[in-house]
Structure formats: C-alpha cells, structure tokens
Structure 1
Amino acid sequence: MEYILIHLGMKQFFFLLLLVGFTMQLSPAQEIKILTYNIYHGENPNRQGDSTFHLISDLLILNQPEVVALQEVDSMTLRSERIYQRKLDFMRQLARETGYKGYFGKAMDFEEGGYGEGLLAKKGAAYHTLPLPNPAGGEPRAMAWVKAELKTLEEFYFGGTHLCHEFAENRKAQLDSILSYAETLDKPVIWVGDLNFTPDSEEYRSIPSHWKEAGREAGNEQATYGTGDGAGRIDYIWYDSRKFELVEYKVLNQVAFSDHYPIWAVLRMKKEE
C-alpha cells in the first residue's frame, strides 16, 4: 500500500510540473514599468537648499517602476553637503530608502565628488558606465547601463543618459556612440534620458526607425521641461520596436520637484516567434 501511495504521489508531482510549465507558456509577457527623471540634483529649483530627496523616494515607492533613470545626480559633493548638512551618496541612500539596487555613473568630477547618472533596478546586474564623446568640448557626459531581469527571468538592457546642452555636434556624436553600443548588446535594449533636443531636431530625425520613442508612439506631445514659453519636450524613452511594444506613456506633470517632469512608460516584451 505504501508503494502505491508513493507512486501516485510522484505521478501527481510530475503532472503538476507539466501544468506549471504549460501555464507559464500561456501567460503573457510581463509588463516593464519605466521612469526617467532629471532631478535637478535633488534640490527644489525654486527654493535653494530645499531637498526633494524624500519626495523622489516617495514617488518611486508609490509607482514601483521596474527600472529608473535619474539625471543630474550628485555623489558626495559640497553642494549635497549644503543641502543635506553632509556629503551624500544620493543613489546609495535612495536605494536604501526604496529597496532598489542603485548605481551611480559618474560623468564628471564636481565639488570634491561626482556628478552624472543614476540607475535603480528591482533586479539587475552588470552595472557599468559608458563615457560619451565630446568633440566640441563642454561638460563630460556618460551613460549608465544595467542588465535588468524580470520576474519571468527575461533580461533586457536599460540605459540612462543626459546629453550635451550646448553643442549639436556633441549630441550627434553622443547619439552615434549610444546607438553603436546598443547594437553590440545581446539582450533587448531600452534607453532613456534628458537628451537636450526636441522632436523637430536633426538629432531626433537621425535615430534609426526601429527605435521608437514612447511619447510620439502614444501621440502625446506634452512638454517634459519648463513652463510657459520656455516649455519643451526633451526627455525621452526609446525602445527597440523589434523587441518591445508600447502599452502606456505619460508625462507626470503634476510632479513639480525639478525644472523637468518625470516621464513614465509601460512596455511589453514581444514573444519570440
């Protein structure tokens, strides 16, 4: 009798394994929630010395994106000491507050610390920084990358950057560097950030057609920067349309912690045919 019960138990176990595998095959691909935000180094642009750290932390905890890119991030600078009464590693502290894995990609030395890009991912590895070219001079620029993993174990690369605000020559060279690098990656790619060009610019038009920009695909031309006559759309989420499809896009223009607004998209990874 004991042998029969054990035998039946094993059959039931293998049946359950088969059922779980079949269910996983039928389940839709997981949606990827993305947020990018130029945070004005974590200080209210209208009130000098007023920290926005906890407002940014609360925004991320409330919305729970899988991946986050932040621009204009300070790390251990004198400026952060003036705001927080101590030199602050902004990304490390933000990761502690939110439960994400954080990474700081330094673009340049600044006030005894660093200044550049921040990334957060719920699950990620292979964090690294790609220096970007500056043929016309000006501030150094960089792009931070992570290989992120979804609950379904699918992986993708996510990059965040802040392109040159002064020279179109620099922005074009930086774009060429980003796109060339993206083509070498062995997983689907999403890249985002404050790119300092508008949708009617030569830089925008130069991006190959398989890269889709979430705002344009959604038909949403809302400004991402400034107010009134100074408002414009210069913050973007780009994705490889061969690998992803757009589910949702919005500008969080009720969030006034910076001179930019956060932008948000939800993408779905396409099933391999």
Structure 2
Amino acid sequence: MKLTTLKDFGNAGGSWTWALHKDGFWWCNFALYGADNHKTFLVKYDEKWREQARWTFPGKVISQLGRYSLSGGIWRGDELWVTGHDDPVAFRLRLPKTGGVLEYIGQHAVPFTGQGFANDPVTGGLIGISRAQRQVVFAKPQCIRLRVLCYNIHHAAGVDRKLDVPRIARVIKSVKPDLVALQEVDNKAGRSGRVDQATELARLTGMRHVFGANIPLQGGHYGNAILSRFPIGRHKNHLLPNVDSGEQRGVLAAHLELPGKQTVRLFATHLDHRRPDGERLASAIFINAMAAKENTVPSILAGDLNDVLGSRTLKEFRKSWTPTNAKPMPTVPVGKPTRQIDFILFRPAARWKVIETKVLDEAVASDHRAIFAILELCD
C-alpha cells in the first residue's frame, strides 16, 4: 500500500466518515450525531481541496438513523448510496438541481449493517462487513430481466398486401416480450378498417397499452404505441421538431412499474426518413434533453430511427444512450436486409447488461424486421 493523498481538515464542523473521488472532485461526508445528526453534510471539493458546494441529507434518511449518523457512501452511476450505523439498508440519493438538500430516491436492502461499504469491481454488486461475524460480505447485484421488442408494423400491412393485425400479434408473441415499442400504428383510420390497432394488439397479446397520435389520417390517427406486461404509469406523447413541413413525428414516453417498486421509462419513436438529416438530428437532441430531465431513472429508447450506426443521428443519441448492438444488425429491406435503422438503446449504461440482441426472421408481416433484445436491469 502506498499513501497517495493526505488532507487535514482541521475543525471542519463534523466527523469525516468517508471520501469518494469522482469526475475530478472529492466528495466528503462530515457526520454529526445525537440531536445534531440532521446537520450531517456532504461537501464537494476540487482537486486542490477548495470547496465547491455542500448539501445536507433529507429528513426521510435522518429520521431512520436514531442518534447515529451516516457511516458509508458510494457512487453508483449518478446515484449516491449511503448507509447508517446498524441497519441493513442503503439510502439512494441524487444531487438536487437547486437547493442545499440531497434528493431522496429510495432505499435498498443490503445483507450487511451500516459502516463502510464499497462497489464490487468484479460482479458490479456491493461489498460490506458483518461486525458481528467479523466477515466481509459480498452482495451480488439484484437484477430484473426484461425482454424488449421494437417493431415498425407498417399499419399491419404485409409485403403480401394483406392487412393482418392478428399476424402482427403472432410475431410479437413469438418472443414473449415484456415491453414492445411499435411504429406506424393506425388508430381508427379508413385504410385499416377503422380498427384501433394498439387496443387490438393489446387484446391479442394480453398486454397493457398506450398510443401516441402524431398525425390525423383518414378519419383516425397514426403514430406510435407501447405494449407492456407491467402496469403503465404516467405517459405522454411528445411531438418532435418538424423541419420544412414534413410528416409530423413523435416520441411516446411511458413510466412502467416493475416489481420491487422499480420504475423504467420506455421511449417509443419513429424519426423522419428524408435527406438531409437535419430533422433527425434535431429530434435526437430533443429526446436526449427529455431523458436528462430524469437523469437517474433507468430508460429504454426503441424505434425506427431512419438512420444507421455511425450517422450523425446515432452519434448524437450515443451521447446519452447505449445501443444493444455495437455492430449493424440489418432490419431493412425486409426481404434481404442490408441496413439497420431500427434500434433498442438504454441508459444509464452502468445499470444495464445486454444478454442478447437479434433481428427476427419474419419477413412478410411488415416492411421491417423486428429487433429484439434481452436486457438485465441491476441495482
């Protein structure tokens, strides 16, 4: 072991219990106890130990500490996890946009009491200590596996010119998805027999659904839809930037309520197809800004992006998102695909693991092949 950093804080106003180095800054916790434990504070220092900001901890955390204070802290992505003294609980926090109190996100059971803990660089889980047993405890990350499908259904009109919603439902059911992002969905439009296609696909697949209308069409509407095996919470359709009076595009965003009180956002979108790429690029910037408003919420973006890996559009998305595949997996033309324009992406990268990505073999039901991914979301 070699000492690399030494800092004497003198009388800093509290007991220094932990320090973390992240993003070129030192994050230090100063604990107070007893009736003053609500004054416990976090300080952000630059590399020369000049204070940049400080925050206290939310009452929902302090109220669970008794007369003790916060003993351990780690960063997990953009979340700050902290522990108390005795209870096997980690509190999940984030920096506030304004104000001097950290924001409470939730809490997570851990298999060790408070005091020190750390990230496990091997498994991505946690490492803590059991004082009673005098043991180091390794806690593997708790993960939930999600099966995600992205499918441009071409209003259920196949390349054989047959309009067949049940056939689309069979394609969806073939991979037993948990979450589905659909593009080119008709809602009571004349060309598709006045059928509410999202509702009908939800009925045929046994899933919940929401629809986002982007344009009126033949007495109905046309847009994107989401199917979900899980309850759908708040959701909203957002119209994307429109350049030179092209077809109005949109992104449908929904909060999905997973087991264990976990929330995931799903963004379903379909971008402009024209050249040049100005509208697609503007749409990517718009969607990235939307995602940043709830920066710590695990999210999936799925859609027909009408552009390829390496394009300006995908480069913009990759500032905020990670595609499930690093090399192209062609989805169009449907008969003999040569280009991938349909994608599934996720954020933040540290919370997700890609188990599998594939393009479905079905080449008749639509003019796109569907792309499917199995992802694990881990604490």
With the length of structure 1 as denominator, give the TM-score of the two structures.
Answer: 0.82
| Conservation of the 8 A alpha-carbon contact between 1:133 and 1:173 | yes
Using the alignment, how far apart are the partners of 1:72 and 1:104 within structure 2? Answer: 11
**CA–CA distance in 1 between the matches of 2:324 and 2:197?**
28
Aligned residue in 1 for 2:293: 184
Query: What's the offset of the Cα at 1:26?
Result: 6.3
Percent of paired sites with the same residue: 28
| Counterpart-to-counterpart distance in 1, 2:336 and 2:177 | 31
Instruction: From 211, 221, 246, give the equivalent of 2:354.
Output: 246
Q: Which has the higher helix share?
A: 1
Maintained 8 Å contact 1:224/1:253:
no
Asked if 1 retains the 8 angstrom alpha-carbon contact of 2:163 and 2:192, the reply is no
Q: Which residue does the alignment assign to 2:159?
A: 45
Question: 1:22 deviation in Å?
Answer: 7.8
Q: Does 1:174 align with 2:288?
A: no
**1:200 corresponds to:** 310
Equivalent residues of 2:303, 2:344 under 8 A apart: yes
Q: Quick check: which has more Rg, 1 or 2?
A: 2
Q: CA deviation at 1:95?
A: 1.1
**1:152 partner SS:** helix
Q: Distance in 1 between matches of 2:352 and 2:279?
A: 29
Q: Secondary structure at the match of 1:59?
A: helix
Q: Which structure is higher in RCO with an 8 Å CA cutoff and minimum separation 6?
A: 1
**Pairs within 5 Å for 1:145-160:** 145-160=253-268
Give the alignment partner of residue 108 of structure 1, picking from 212, 215, 220.
215
Paired position in structure 1 for 2:202: 95
Matched, 1:57 2:140: no
AA of the residue aligned to 2:165: F
1:128-176 superposed Cα distances (whole Å, 9 cap, x missing partner): 1011011332000011111112233311100110000114111011111
Does the Cα contact within 8 Å between 1:214 and 1:238 map onto a contact in 2? yes
* Structure 1 spans left out of the alignment, 5+ residues: 1-17, 82-86
3-state SS in 2 of match to 1:261: coil
Matches within 5 A, 1:127-138: 127-138=235-246
Kindly state the Cα deviation for residue 89 of structure 1 after the two structures are TM-superposed: 0.5
Alignment deviations for residues 234-267 of structure 1 (CA, whole Å, 9 cap, x no partner): 0000111132121110011235311110100111
Q: CA 1:30–1:228 in structure 2 vs 1: closer, same or farther (change >3 Å)?
A: closer
Per the alignment, in what secondary structure is the counterpart of residue 95 of structure 1?
helix
Q: Name the residue aligned to 1:70.
A: 182
- The number of equivalent residue pairs is 241
Structure with bigger strand share is 2
Corresponding residue SS for 1:179? helix
Residue aligning to 2:96: none
Name the Cα RMSD after superposition.
Answer: 2.2
Structure 2 segments unaligned to the other structure (5+ residues) = 1-87, 89-108, 112-138
Correspondence for 2:376 among 249, 268, 273: 268
Q: What does the per-residue CA deviation read over 1:34-89, in whole Å, with 9 as the maximum and x for residues that have no partner?
A: 00000011111332xx12311221233332211101100000001012xxxxx100
- Is residue 32 of structure 1 aligned with residue 146 of structure 2? yes
Q: Which residue of 2 aligns with 1:224?
A: 331
Distance 1:173 1:209 in 2: 14
Describe the superposition over 1:103-131 as per-residue Cα deviations: whole angstroms up to 9, x where unpaired: 11001111111001011011221121011
Q: Which amino acid aligns with 1:155?
A: T
Give, in angstroms, the shift of residue 210 of structure 1: 4.9
Aligned residues of 1:246 and 1:266 also touching (Cα < 8 A): yes
Change (3 A) 1:227 1:63: closer
CA contact (8 A) 2:252 2:269 kept: yes
Instruction: Report if aligned partners of 1:74, 1:113 keep a CA contact under 8 Å in 2.
Output: yes
Contact 2:171–2:362 at 8 Å: present in 1 too? no
Deviation at 1:28? 3.5
1:144 equivalent to 2:237? Answer no
Please say if residues 247 and 265 of structure 1, whose CA atoms lie closer than 8 Å, have aligned partners that are also in contact.
yes
Residue 227 and residue 90 in structure 1: after superposition, are their counterparts in 2 closer, same or farther (change >3 A)? closer
Equivalent residues of 2:202, 2:208 under 8 A apart? yes
1:249 alignment partner, SS class? strand
**By how many angstroms is 1:27 displaced?**
7.6
